[in-house]
């Protein structure tokens, strides 16, 4: 899609986002200002990430203790058995041999558990929205639409999670991969705009203007990608039983988001 086509679709996309947000916020409209869905979901994912890391550390600690305690018991049993073979009663020798067997088994279990223990699974983290670009700044409308789409998607995620938990995780992962690059792009546009304002008539101003144009094109593409993801989310929320399953509805939008995020990462490497 060309930037012109994306811009032409902007009004339709913004209307869809506003309608979805109004629908899912309607019953709460008289309860005062609501927290930012991006911040709410971000805090939820942060807490989930801490739980995952804590559980992994607890498991690691238990396995290390099992290995160390088993080794200690086996060594102690060896000492008991060696010291009583020639001068101790038979029962004491048997006790030492039993300790060796139990300790070795415990140590082997701990060692195998440590070897097989996987790193903690990665929990997608939801980035907050960037500060809005000044009115009239190139890309300000696209940046606003991205934030609006993301907030609506995050507000609808609890509903999606009840209906399609795996789809909700895919949506979070797609946003976590894309939002940091988009936020960075918004900040670059802000910096380029500042250069143009502070250095008029210079080569720096001309270069900043060219760079801003390229960044706005990519930002507009990002707004369209989020619009397509929002439409897929609305479809999932409105039709719990879908032919072909939720992935058939979500997959095209997720694939487009992943491709866009990959392009942002490659572009970011050239900007460094």
CB of 189 closer than 8 Å to CB of 139:
yes
- Tell the residue number behind the tokens 């995050």, with chain if given: 154
**HSE-CB for 125 with a 13 A CA cutoff:** 10
CB of 257 closer than 8 Å to CB of 153:
no
The vertex-149 CA angle with 146 and 153, nearest 5°, equals 135
Tens-binned pLDDT, residue by residue, of the chain (272 aa) = 443 444 444 445 445 444 544 544 553 454 456 789 999 999 999 999 999 999 999 999 998 988 888 788 777 777 766 665 455 555 566 666 677 777 788 888 888 888 988 998 889 999 999 999 999 999 999 999 999 999 999 999 998 888 888 889 999 999 999 999 999 999 999 999 999 999 999 999 999 999 999 999 999 999 999 999 999 898 888 776 655 566 677 888 888 888 888 888 777 665 55
Q: How crowded is residue 134: how many other Cβ atoms within 10 Å of its Cβ?
A: 11
Report the Cα 47 to chain-centroid distance in Å. Answer: 12
How far apart are the C-alpha atoms of 160 and 154, rounded to whole Å?
10
Q: How crowded is residue 71: how many other Cβ atoms within 10 Å of its Cβ?
A: 17
CB of 6 closer than 8 Å to CB of 224:
yes
Question: What are the residue boundaries of the structural domains of the chain, listed by start?
Answer: 3-36+129-271, 51-116
């Amino acid at each position: 899609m060309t930037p012109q086509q994306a811009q032409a679709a902007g009004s339709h996309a913004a209307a869809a986002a506003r309608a979805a947000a109004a629908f899912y916020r309607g019953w709460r409209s008289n309860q005062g200002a609501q927290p930012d869905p991006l911040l709410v979901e971000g805090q939820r994912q942060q807490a989930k990430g801490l739980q995952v890391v804590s559980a992994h550390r607890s498991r690691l600690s238990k396995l290390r203790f099992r290995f160390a305690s088993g080794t200690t018991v086996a060594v102690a049993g060896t000492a008991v058995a060696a010291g009583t073979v020639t001068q101790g009663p038979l029962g004491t020798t048997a006790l030492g041999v039993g300790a060796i067997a139990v300790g070795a088994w415990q140590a082997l279990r701990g060692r195998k558990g440590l070897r097989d223990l996987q790193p903690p699974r990665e929990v997608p983290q939801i980035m907050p929205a960037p500060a809005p670009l000044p009115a009239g700044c190139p890309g300000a409308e696209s940046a606003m639409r991205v934030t609006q789409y993301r907030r609506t998607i995050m507000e609808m995620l609890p509903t999606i999670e009840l209906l399609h938990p795996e789809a909700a995780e895919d949506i979070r992962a797609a946003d976590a991969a894309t939002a940091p690059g988009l936020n960075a792009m918004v900040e670059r546009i802000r910096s380029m705009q500042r250069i143009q304002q502070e250095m008029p008539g210079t080569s720096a101003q001309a270069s900043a203007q060219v760079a801003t144009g390229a960044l706005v094109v990519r930002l507009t593409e990002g707004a369209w990608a989020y619009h397509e993801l929002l439409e897929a989310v609305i479809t999932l929320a409105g039709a719990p039983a879908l032919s072909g399953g939720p992935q058939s509805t979500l997959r095209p939008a997720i694939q487009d988001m992943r491709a866009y995020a990959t392009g942002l990462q490659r572009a970011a490497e050239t900007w460094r």
